[in-house]
């Protein structure tokens, strides 16, 4: 798929810049230091109050591992969003909860089935009484 077939990221350039910086694990201070600009300058870019010059865009795209076209227009190479780390303990806890819910569901199905059987016998008994009285 080429960039013209991609659905564009409709965020602002400042929003995309902020997300890419965070995905790269950098603070605004870190990014400013690496670019040789003031923190206020990075903050202004991220708040869409100003835009970086062309030579800074090239540096930004390299530092943040995104394409210039993505920064400017929302199409192209975007940042890799951080993946939530899942621990074995968390998965084991989820499995335990699911197993418990499965057991509860089985018990409820058994109770409902028993109640339906009781209702069926009551209905049959009532029907027999009604037809016997005719």
| Per-residue model confidence (pLDDT) at position 104 | 93
Cβ pair 42, 31 in contact under 8 A: yes
| Per-residue model confidence (pLDDT) at position 127 | 84
Per-10-residue mean pLDDT for the chain, 134 residues long?
A: 70 93 93 96 96 94 92 85 68 89 93 91 86 74
| Per-residue model confidence (pLDDT) at position 99 | 92
| Per-residue model confidence (pLDDT) at position 61 | 93
Distant-in-sequence, close-in-space partners of 10: CB < 8 Å, separation ≥ 6: 74
| Per-residue model confidence (pLDDT) at position 48 | 95
* CA-angle at 114, arms to 101 and 96, nearest 5°: 10
Task: Please report, for residues 22, 61, 95, 104, 124, the alpha-carbon distance to residue 13 in angstroms, rounded to integers and kept in the order given.
Answer: 14, 12, 42, 51, 73
């Amino acid at each position: 798929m080429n960039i013209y077939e991609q659905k564009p990221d409709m965020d602002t350039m400042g929003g995309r810049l902020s997300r890419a910086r965070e995905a790269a694990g950098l603070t605004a201070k870190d990014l400013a230091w690496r670019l040789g600009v003031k923190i206020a300058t990075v903050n202004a870019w991220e708040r869409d109050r100003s835009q970086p010059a062309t030579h800074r865009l090239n540096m930004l795209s390299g530092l943040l591992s995104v394409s210039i076209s993505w920064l400017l227009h929302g199409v192209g190479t975007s940042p890799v969003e951080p993946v939530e780390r899942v621990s074995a303990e968390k998965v084991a806890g989820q499995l335990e909860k699911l197993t418990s819910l499965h057991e509860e569901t089985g018990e409820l199905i058994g109770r409902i089935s028993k109640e339906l059987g009781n209702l069926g016998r009551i209905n049959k008994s009532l029907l027999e009484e009604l037809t016997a009285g005719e």
